[in-house]
Structures are given as C-alpha cells and as structure tokens.
Chain A
C-alpha cells in the first residue's frame, strides 16, 4: 500500500479545499473559458501558477503548514486527483509552468531555465506544450513542423493540433524538425507574441476550460538561444527528451482520470441516500476499483520520482487503466439516478464528458497498450 506522507497529506488537504472552492465556477468556466482571468487571486490558482518551479529559481516559495513543494510526481498526482475530483477543467485552465516547465527543467540550459521560470514567477503566466500535429496524433516521430536556418536565426513553419492554453499563453515549448529522422526533432521556446504565431481555440465535448487550440507557425523567427538542449547530446534532446518528459508527466494525467472517477463516485454517495443492498455492493466495488487504480497511479509516480527504468511501462499502464476506470465509473454512476440522469444531473454528465477528454490526453488507451507491450518485450516491467 503506497500511502502519502505528512507533507503530501498536507498538500492533499489544501488541494481538496482549493478545488472545491474553484469547482463552484465549473459550469461558468465551461461557458466562458476567459473566466479564469478573474479567478487568479484564489489560492488554488495562485499555487498552480507557481508550481512546479525548481527550488533554485523560486526564492519566495509557497509554504503549506511549513512544507515546501517543488513538483515531484507524487505531489503532482495528489494535486491532479483532488482537482479532478472537483473539476479537472479548472486545473487545466490554470496558468503555470505545467508540461513546458518539466521539459525546460529537463532540456534547458541555466539561462533558459532562468528566463522561463523567472517569467512564470513574475505574474500569472500561461504556457503551452506543442507536440501533436494534425493527421499525426499518434505518430510523433512523423512530425513535419520545420525549423530552417535563416541567417543567424531559424524560421518556424507548420501547424499543431489539440494544444491546451495556447491562446492564453505567453510562451511555450514547440517540437519541430531540422532534418529527417528521430534525431532531427528539436524543441524550442516560442513566444506567442512573435509575428506569424496564431492560436485558434475550438470547442470540445469535455474539459472545455482547457481551451484547446489549433496553432499555426508562419515564418516565426526563433533565435538560437531559444533552442532547448543544444548543450546536450542529440540522443538526450528533441523527441527522446520529449518522451522522457511525457513519461514523467503521465502519472499526473492518469490521476486526472482517477479523480474524475472518484468525483462521480462521491457524487452518487452524496446524492443517493437510500441505497438497495445491490446498489451498496456496486458502490463498494467502485470504491475498491478506485483505490486499486490509485495505488497503480502512485506506483507510477514513485517510479517517476526515482527515475525507475520501468517508468514508461508503469506510467502507460496507469494512464490506460485510469482512463478506463473514469469511463466505467462515470457511465455506471448514471444508473443510480434512473432515466434522464444525464440531463437531470449536469455535474455527473460533466464528469462523463471530462472522462472522455482524459482518454485522449497524451494518447488513448490503444497507444498506451502498445507502450505496455514494449515494456513487456524489452523486459522493462516493474520488479
């Protein structure tokens, strides 16, 4: 059994309180994603906007009951579960370093890290992470966004799809190709104010607060000092660096699915008082499944924090199972309320829609099943 320590339990208690408060505005955020700009002073938003930032760049860190938090994976899954149990959309709409921060920590040199994190800490700042391309969602290796030298700089051209927060962001990380092959993929820090950058939001079925966008680059000029990983070997930067970064983030995405499942389960517990014996059994089974998946997610988070070679397999297993759990529990929860439950219980319907969105974040179950198979074939399973 993987239990939270006192420090992590403190974070969980605060996150639960913050998320519950923010969730009161969940439907408003769905209707108007710009609402998030008016919520920036709320403590949950303040925390997300400044976390995770490596300790060396944060001279005035947020302390919770004396504890400091710098963004380990176990912290991340704890926060993600609590926010998602209330409203995952609110968390994904928040400013902060998010996925780009992990990549910059991993691939950036000292100057790039200082530039990135000092700006994030200066004021609430949204960032974006642009890897997925239209028509190549499951084939990151085939990405075609290009970075071509032009004098003392590079020109960025191409398109990205399903990029969260890009329309709100000040800057983010973009993956592009400088030459054919896996080593020809590089990552660059890109500011959204640059000429030729456009991000267009489009409506989605679930997690609307995340404001997913189509992004286009039309001869965007990138200076050499914005290229991430230039000081690293080619095998450690670019796509391989992205894969390592995504593996570390994946337990957090799994925790979103876990939290959504828990939220739907708790909704049933709160709203259905007089349960039949059969219904009590069903709810007990849901609770067992939720705890079981929580343990799997925490195991993946532990692997991420320990740089365990089995991380890729564990993280994909956790993401695949948590997505499945979210789908099963959100659909099963309607049965406790009879015909018309989806119209009559909009919060439960929202959990079901958000569960669908988590399925697609960072690859569907199918993609993660393939990753788990790779772990099996390479004998990179947990011991």
Chain B
C-alpha cells in the first residue's frame, strides 16, 4: 500500500470513539511524521514532544488529564505531507461526529417543561444542520487521495467543521465550557486546523 492509498477510516473512528489524543497519536503513527504547518506550528501529544529537540514549546494544553503541546519550529515550516493534511481533516471530522453523538446523548437526557429537549423543533433543526454539514464534508473527503484537495479546499473543510462544532457546542449549553469536556477538545481541534490554514475567514 502506498501513502496515496492510505485508509483514514481508523483515524476517523479513533477520533469519534476514543477522542482527540488517541486519534492524533494514530495520525502521527500512520503517516510516520510530525507534520509542521506552513509557519512551522504543530500540536503533538506528550509522547512526541521529545521527537524534535529543535522545536520550541509555545503552548501546553490539558485534555482529560493528558497533555498536548503547541510546538513552533520555523526550520520545519511546511513539512506536513499531503497525507497528513488530509488526515487531519478526517481526524477533525471524526471528532465532530463524536460531538454530534455527545449532543444526542446529552439532549436525550434533558427536559424543558417536562418535554425532552431532543424533541424541540429548534433543536431538531440544528442537529439536522450539523448532519448536513457532516455529509457535505464526508462527500468531499470520501474519494479524495492525498494531494487531490488543494490548500483552499482543505481550509474550507476545516472552516465547515469549525462552524458545525460551534453550533453543536451551543446545544450542550454551559457544560461545553468545562475544560474537561467536549468544549476543550473542540478548542484543540480548532488550534490544529489553524496551524495549517493560511487564511481563515468567517
């Protein structure tokens, strides 16, 4: 199997079910690289921080008791291979799918005025919006091989995922602001996208 034929399914599933750190570790493992962005930034889990003594640690973020590091190494700018940048979109997509599942579980267990929140028309509509966005992203990703999607296409997918995640977080209410909850994973997911996106517009 060549890198062009790399299957991203395990990364998507790991992101959806095991979370960000597991999926990120798997992306590193699968592509065999630490993929620095165009300006020399990357987010790595603890196990990989020693991999590059030249890199400066510019941020430390905790997620469910595990540490991730924001590294900066101008000398390695733009070294992320195409299989990495495509894999990162798959990873963020899987995280977003997991977030949707969390929303379903959360909203199914809550009521307003004795009626399940999940049955409120506005909630249904917003969940449907998320599903539509997911389908759009998935359709773009499914047949794509590394290199098929250019930088702007990948940036657009990242932006779609960010917008969808923000909408889903609103459905989780204040709980999504907890640093040990899904809101922190979304924050790190956004940081990862930002490291590779030259231009991000609203």
Are A and B subunits of one complex?
Answer: yes
Assess whether B191 is in contact with A335, with CB atoms less than 8 Å apart: no
Q: What separation, in Å, do the CA atoms of A137 and B190 have in the docked complex?
A: 26
Contact assessment for A338 and B38 in the assembled complex, using a CB-CB cutoff below 8 Å: yes
Of B37, B109, B170, B187, which is within 8 A of A205 by CB? B187
Q: Contact at B41–A204, with CB atoms within 8 Å?
A: no
Q: Residue A42 at the B interface, CB < 8 A? A: no
Residue of B nearest to A360 (CB): B174
Query: Are A340 and B179 in contact, with the CB atoms below 8 A?
Result: no
The interface bits of chain B over 164-201 (1 if a CB of A lies within 8 angstroms of the residue's CB, else 0) are 00100111011111111001100100110011111111
* Pairwise interchain contact B198-A344, C-beta atoms closer than 8 A: no
CB-contact partner of B183 in A339, A352, A356, under 8 A: A356
Contact between chains at B72 and A340 (CB < 8 Å):
yes
For the complex, what is the distance from the CA of A20 to the CA of B8, rounded to whole Å? 47
The stretch that binds B, out of A95-103, A173-181, A299-307, A325-333, is A325-333
Determine the distance from Cα of A346 to Cα of B191 in the docked complex, in whole angstroms. Answer: 11
- Please tell me if the beta carbons of B199 and A139 are within 8 angstroms of each other in the complex: no
From B97-105, B111-119, B142-150, give the one contacting chain A.
Answer: B111-119
Contact with B along A328-366 (1 / 0, CB 8 A): 110110110011111110100100110011011000111
Q: Considering the chains assembled together, what is the distance between the CA atoms of A344 and B38 in angstroms?
A: 13
| A161 on the B face (CB < 8 A) | yes
User: Which chain A residue has the least Cβ–Cβ distance from B117?
Assistant: A138
Residue of B nearest to A134 (CB): B175
* A335-B200, A338-B199, A343-B58 known; A137-B39 Cβ under 8 A: no
Asked if A203 is at the interface (CB within 8 A of a chain B CB), the reply is yes
In Å, the complex CA distance between A343 and B173 comes to 26
Evaluate contact between A340 and B194: CB separation under 8 angstroms.
yes
Report yes or no: A202 in contact with B178, Cβ–Cβ below 8 A. yes
CA distance A339 to B166 in the complex (A): 20
A340 contact from B110, B112, B123, B195, Cβ within 8 A: B195
Bitwise, A160-180 to B at CB < 8 A (1) or not (0) is: 011000000000000000000
State whether the Cβ of A369 lies closer than 8 Å to any Cβ in chain B. Answer: yes
Please provide the chain B residues from 110 to 144 with a CB less than 8 Å away from any CB of chain A in the complex: 110-114, 117, 122-123, 126
Bound CA–CA A139/B112 (angstroms): 5
Q: Once the chains bind, are A202 and B122 in contact (CB under 8 Å)?
A: no
Given contacts A205-B187, A370-B122, contact A339 B177 (CB under 8 A): no
**Bound: A364/B173 CA distance, A:** 7
A328-B202, A353-B187 known; A137+B170 contact, CB < 8 A = no
Q: Which residues does chain A contribute within 8 Å of B111, judged by CB atoms?
A: 139, 142
Tell me whether A137 and B173 are in contact in the complex, defined as CB-CB below 8 angstroms, given that A202-B179, A203-B179, A335-B200 are known contacts. Answer: yes
> Are the CB atoms of A344 and B72 closer together than 8 Å?
yes
Known: A338-B39, A340-B72. 13 other contacts (CB 8 A): A135-B110, A137-B175, A142-B111, A202-B179, A202-B180, A203-B180, A205-B183, A331-B200, A343-B191, A344-B58, A360-B176, A366-B123, A369-B122
Q: Which of B's residues lie within 8 Å of A, judged by CB? A: 37-41, 58-59, 70, 72, 109-114, 117, 122-123, 126, 162, 166, 169-171, 173-180, 183-184, 187, 190-191, 194-202
